[in-house]
Amino acid sequence: MAVSAAGFPDFESCRAAFDALRVERAVHVGGVQHRPGVNGWVWQLRTADGEAVAVSARPYERYSTCRSAFTKFCALLDAEVAIDIDAG
């Protein structure tokens, strides 16, 4: 659904960045765009100063599908869910 716009040296750093993203969600902005060199529509979520923090995992053929994926990702950030990667 999404990928980080930055790399992380380990899982703990990645998880801390994701938790911060969820906490700071209200101040982030984003949207759908069709960029030169990309075959299709992509979405980005950015900080207030324009730094990309999350991007679509793939380009989408249709604007509406990309917009729907962006909306779903934002809803997941806002959801109160427990993620236990050690289970299973």
Spatial CB neighbours of 44, under 8 Å, sequence gap ≥ 6:
5, 30, 31, 33, 52, 54, 55, 56
Q: Across 8-12, 35-39, 73-77, 81-85, which has the greatest mean pLDDT? A: 8-12
Q: Where are the alpha helices (DSSP H) in 1-88?
A: 11-23, 63-78
Determine how many CB atoms are found less than 10 A away from the CB of residue 32: 19
Quick check: 46 pLDDT over 80?
A: yes
pTM attached to this predicted model = 0.78
Give tens-digit pLDDT for 23-35.
888 888 899 998 7
Question: pLDDT class for 36, splitting at 50, 70, 90?
Answer: confident
- Section 38-62 average pLDDT: 90
pLDDT at 68: 95
